[in-house]
Amino acid sequence: MATHPPYVPRAGRIPADAALHQRRARNRRSEFAIWWREIDRVLLTLVLMLMAIGAAAVAASSPASARRLSTAAVKLNDLHFFYLHIRFQVVGLIAMFAASALPREMARRLGILLGFAMLIGLMLVPVIGSNINGAKRWLNLGMSLQPSEFLKPAYAIGLAWILSWRVRDPNLPVVPITTGLMVLICALLMLQPDFGSAVLFAGVWFVLVLMSGIDVKRILGMGAGGVAAVVATYVFYDNARHRIDAFIGGGSQFDQVDLAQRTLLAGGWTGSGLWLGTRKLGLPEAHTDYIFSVIGEEFGLLVCAVIVVLYLAIVLRVLLRLLDEEDLFTTLAAAGLIAQLGGQAFINVLVNLQLFPSKGMTLPLISYGGSSTIALCLGVGFLLAITRRNPFIERERFKLRALGKTQARTRK
């Protein structure tokens, strides 16, 4: 039987498989080049700096929490929470970069679908949720999942999408729709109880509704409604009333907020050094809610000031990038996402300084967490995707004032 010589391609020709492989490689390089050109690299750098500080801070606080949670039967390694946090950060970074590579429309659709799924999860929490430390906030689905954390970035995108309908039809009742959604979510959060997250969701709603171009009378009405809601919460919600009373009346030296402030100031300007702090050992939730105080003791108040500056820089960077944005959805979604991140950081820092009632809220991108770390990274990824832009295209500045004038003419 005759044998055929092996195929040898002519000089200058490439086999079909190799050519396809090269085209795919070029496409991947081209997509990465486009992503790198359009992404906000300054914002990405600031976020990665905070996450690096967070890894060091969790390493510093892990021994305190590990020893507190160790028992005679089970002794946790001093770096137990640090090792877990690094894993969560890796997953979070993957989610961040994957979300940031999405086109704006795809990011919007994914955010809306995620919000719908997490809203259903939030409804299931009171029924089948896991109770940890007196709060029922988690679903056990083979792994612990906190729906409210993943709902946060999706909520900002969903509100922005609904409010942006006014561009097409100013008569649509977008404010009542978003108000009903906010009230539903806050009511579900109060059942857990999670008063801090309810305040954050309401704050994001207020910022976006305010930016959407409503008139002054409605703003005053919302302000009065907010005051009434706070008073009603104080009267009928025991958890919030006890925290507010402790804050106003001043606590004892054994209160966790007072312990946090003492820990924060114990290191002075330069800190006692990594793993040399002692006050953190008596601090509850040292790796989550009060990690800012651990940073103050071991790394010093100067590092705490750097962290505050980084948060302010992130907020300012996003707002400056929105100055020449012409799309209402993009403006509102980015503003909502950054208000959420900045508001959570602001509240956590004030709690550690004993300037705000305790809220049980983590320091974003720094505190230890599974759902919170991954969800925050996903939110940053959505923010990077939504604010992507071609640097060679000139943009006209979007003016919310013009939208308000259009609505006024429509009403007349």
Written as one string, the DSSP assignment of 17-40 is HHHHHHHHHHHHHHHHHHHHHHS-
21 domain residue, yes or no: no
341 domain residue, yes or no: yes
Distance of CA 350 to the CA centre of its chain: 17
Structure confidence at residue 216 (pLDDT): 58
Structure confidence at residue 133 (pLDDT): 66
1 domain residue, yes or no: no
Residue 398's contacts (CB-CB under 8 Å, 6 or more residues apart) are 324, 325, 326, 327, 328, 331
Which two three-digit tokens encode residue 128?
């089948």
Structure confidence at residue 166 (pLDDT): 83
Number of folded domains that form the chain: 1
Residue 147 dihedral angles phi and psi, to the nearest 5°: -55, -35
Structure confidence at residue 230 (pLDDT): 67
Gap between the Cα atoms of 366 and 363, Å rounded: 6
Q: What is the pLDDT along the chain (412 residues), one digit of tens a residue?
A: 556 566 555 555 556 666 666 666 666 677 778 888 888 999 999 999 999 999 999 999 999 888 888 877 888 888 999 999 999 999 999 999 999 999 989 999 999 999 999 999 999 888 887 777 667 787 877 777 889 999 999 999 999 999 998 878 878 888 889 989 999 999 899 888 788 888 899 999 989 988 887 665 666 666 677 677 667 666 666 666 666 666 565 554 446 777 888 888 888 888 888 888 888 888 888 888 899 999 999 999 999 999 999 999 999 999 998 887 888 899 999 999 999 999 999 999 988 888 777 767 889 999 998 889 999 999 999 999 999 876 655 554 445 555 555 555 545 5
Structure confidence at residue 53 (pLDDT): 95
Gap between the Cα atoms of 261 and 273, Å rounded: 18
DSSP state of 327: -
Full domain range(s) for residue 272? 41-388+395-411
Gap between the Cα atoms of 57 and 264, Å rounded: 13
- What totals of helices (H) and strands (E) does the chain contain, helices first? 15, 3
15 domain residue, yes or no: no
The owner of tokens 């950081």 is 345
325 three-state secondary structure: coil
DSSP state of 402: H
The closest alpha carbon to 82, from 248, 274, 236, belongs to 274
271 domain residue, yes or no: yes
The residues that bridge with 132 in the sheet, in sequence order, are: 135
7 domain residue, yes or no: no
Structure confidence at residue 253 (pLDDT): 45
Which two three-digit tokens encode residue 339?
């208000």
36 domain residue, yes or no: no
Structure confidence at residue 5 (pLDDT): 62
Distance of CA 9 to the CA centre of its chain: 55
Residue 251 dihedral angles phi and psi, to the nearest 5°: -100, 175
Question: The dihedral of CA 97, 102, 108, 113: what is its sign?
Answer: negative
34 domain residue, yes or no: no
The owner of tokens 């109770």 is 131
Helix axes 328-352, 147-163, angle to 10 degrees: 140
Structure confidence at residue 68 (pLDDT): 85
Structure confidence at residue 184 (pLDDT): 93
List the strands of the sheet with 144-145, edge to edge: 130-132, 135-140, 144-145
Structure confidence at residue 118 (pLDDT): 93
- Residue 220: how many CB atoms within 10 A of its CB? 10
